[in-house]
Amino acid sequence: MTDSLNRTILIVDDEKLLREAIAYEFNKRGFRALTAGSGNEAYGIIEREKIDVVLTDVRMPDGDGIGLLSRIKKLDAAMPVVVFITAFTDITIEDAYNMGACAIICKPFDRKELQSTVARAIRVASGAWDDFQATEDINSAGTGVDLLLDDLESSINGRVIGIGRGGMFVTSDRPLPEIQSRIRFRLRFNHKPPDEFNGTGVVRWSRSAPPPLPSSCGIEFIALDRKTAEAVQALTGHSKTAAFIPKA
- Of the two residues 203 and 126, the one the predictor is more confident about is 203
More confident residue, 141 or 89: 89
- pLDDT attached to residue 139: 45
Query: By mean pLDDT, which of 52-56, 67-71, 124-128 is the weakest?
Result: 124-128
Angle between helices 16-28 and 111-125 (to 10 degrees): 70
CATH of region 131-239: 2.40.10.220
Report, as an integer, the average pLDDT of 96-124.
Answer: 89
> In terms of CATH, what superfamily is 2-125?
Response regulator (3.40.50.2300)
Give the residue with greater pLDDT, 136 vs 168: 168
6-56 pLDDT, tens digit each: 899 999 999 999 999 999 999 999 999 999 999 999 999 999 999 999 999
- What DSSP line would sit under 140-183, residue for residue? TTS-EEEEEEEEHHHHHHTTSEEE-SSEEEEEESS--PPTT-EE
Domain with CATH 2.40.10.220 in the chain: 131-239
Mean pLDDT in residue range 193-218: 87
pLDDT number for residue 59: 86
Question: pLDDT higher for 85 or 5?
Answer: 85
Residue 75 has pLDDT above 70, yes or no: yes
Range(s) for CATH 3.40.50.2300 in the chain? 2-125
| pLDDT cut 70: percent of the chain above it | 90
* Residue among 244, 135, 247, 121 at smallest CA distance from 184: 135
* Model confidence pTM above 0.75: yes
**Highest mean predicted confidence (pLDDT) among 67-76, 144-153, 192-201:** 67-76
Residue 240 confidence (pLDDT): 66
Percent of the chain's residues with pLDDT above 90: 45
